[in-house]
Amino acid sequence: MTIVLPATSESLHQAADLLRRGRLVAFPTETVYGLGAAAENESAVRAMFAAKGRPADHPVIVHLPDAAQLSEWAAEIPPAARRLVAAFWPGPLTLILRRGPGVSDLVTGGLDTVGLRVPGHPVAQQLFRLFGGGIAAPSANRFGRVSPTTAQHVLDELDGRVELILDGGPCTIGLESTIVDLSRVEPAVLRPGGITAEQLFEVLGPFSSSPSSEAPRVSGSMESHYAPRARVELLSPDQIAARAAELVTQGNRVAVLLRNAEHHEAEPHSFPKSVVVISLPREDVELARTLYATLRRVDELECDVALSTLPIEQGLGIAIADRLRKAAGPRAGG
């Protein structure tokens, strides 16, 4: 049985207590909802992997109440890490550092590094302070699916598989944290997110922000990630109407995701009647916040295919485009 409770002093204490007893609790962060397990409790971490249906060799981010606990998890804290922590924690940034001696292989997926994050969401902050230790938490969705940005999304994904969902309202950023690997000679962005490359460059100076080919196993870097059930196709605005018509002729139920500015160019009135046209916000910040809910809506409307354009790839647009490409990527085993 899964219960959903608004985050109150009472439910937060209950959640911290469940975590101490090795149970699973889902909680909001500013990026997406996380599925938390006590990071030092191996059976709790195993239960978390099982609940998600995630292969055990995938590393998971350890969430901390504050940066003071970094040294308990990382073998060393390079100057670049200190600068990023000072600039962006608490916030939507995960650091990959060489792991400390006590960190379980279950958490690191057997890698010699560990992912660490201090979220800024007040509910996460209060929960982590009450609990005290590290919380291993992937996004609170079934493996390979779209990350949840509301408590209802978590329930849709994990009903019966998580004890308690703390409802802290919709996530304000809506895409997963930026992951920066500082365990090598050069910093590398393993996953673009809420902290943009430009923001990182301001603190670290310029570096090549694309992940190297030797990048470690990041499940978010697997092609079929962040995918709704519907197939996603990425097109330019002027291609959309013709492709929609073609797909409808082939018997598909089609959704078209159009940013406000593109409505004119794509001439939505020229779509076949059965096409579901979903308007996306013009601003990247708003688009990021609502993207995953929109992909879920495409599934709720039982569409077979969703057609979308890509945003301009700068600032937050890089992370949005990354998630859309992954949603459109080839599916492993459907």
Under the rule (CB under 6 A), what is the footprint of ligand TXA?
29, 31-32, 34, 58-61, 94, 96, 108, 111, 113-115, 117, 119, 137-139, 176-177, 179, 190, 216-220
- Residue 60: name its binding partner from Mg ion, ligand TXA, none (Cβ under 5 to 8 Å by kind): ligand TXA
d(CA 278, CA 298): 9
DSSP, residue by residue, 107-141: HHTT-SEEEEE----HHHHHHHHHH-S-EE--BSS
Number of H-type helices and E-type strands within the chain: 12, 14
Judged on CB neighbours under 10 Å (0-12, 13-18, 19+), 60 is: buried
- Residue 296: name its binding partner from Mg ion, ligand TXA, none (Cβ under 5 to 8 Å by kind): none
Using rule CB under 5 A, residue 139 touches Mg ion: yes
Show the beta-strand stretches assigned E in 119-246.
135-136, 164-167, 178-181, 188-191, 231-234
Q: Which stretch binds Mg ion (CB under 5 A): 132-140, 160-168, 201-209, 245-253?
A: 132-140
Q: Which amino acid is at 205?
A: G
- Residue 61: name its binding partner from ligand TXA, Mg ion, none (Cβ under 5 to 8 Å by kind): ligand TXA
Q: How far is the CB of 275 from Mg ion (least distance, A)?
A: 30
Tell me the C-alpha to C-alpha distance, in Å, between residue 12 and each of 4, 194, 224: 12, 26, 34
- Residue 29: name its binding partner from Mg ion, ligand TXA, none (Cβ under 5 to 8 Å by kind): ligand TXA
Give residue for tokens 């018997």.
Answer: 251
- Considering the complex, state which of residue 146 and residue 305 has its C-beta at the smaller distance from ligand TXA: 146
d(CA 295, CA 146): 8
Q: Are 214 and 129 in contact (CB under 8 A)?
A: no
Total residues in contact with Mg ion, by rule CB under 5 A: 1
Q: 65-82: string of b/e by CB count within 10 Å (b at 16+)?
A: bebebbeebbeebeebbe
Q: Which stretch binds Mg ion (CB under 5 A): 63-71, 86-94, 136-144, 272-280?
A: 136-144
Does a cis peptide bond (omega within 30 degrees of 0) precede residue 90? yes
- Considering the complex, state which of residue 126 and residue 139 has its C-beta at the smaller distance from Mg ion: 139
Q: How far is the CB of 226 from Mg ion (least distance, A)?
A: 8
Using rule CB under 5 A, residue 294 touches Mg ion: no
Q: How far is the CB of 147 from Mg ion (least distance, A)?
A: 5
* SS3 call for 313: coil
- Considering the complex, state which of residue 29 and residue 196 has its C-beta at the smaller distance from Mg ion: 29
Q: How far is the CB of 296 from ligand TXA (least distance, A)?
A: 16
Cα dihedral 166, 169, 174, 180 sign: negative
- Considering the complex, state which of residue 59 and residue 168 has its C-beta at the smaller distance from Mg ion: 59
- Residue 108: name its binding partner from Mg ion, ligand TXA, none (Cβ under 5 to 8 Å by kind): ligand TXA
Using rule CB under 5 A, residue 178 touches Mg ion: no
- Residue 126: name its binding partner from ligand TXA, Mg ion, none (Cβ under 5 to 8 Å by kind): none
User: Interface with Mg ion by CB under 5 A: which residues?
Assistant: 139
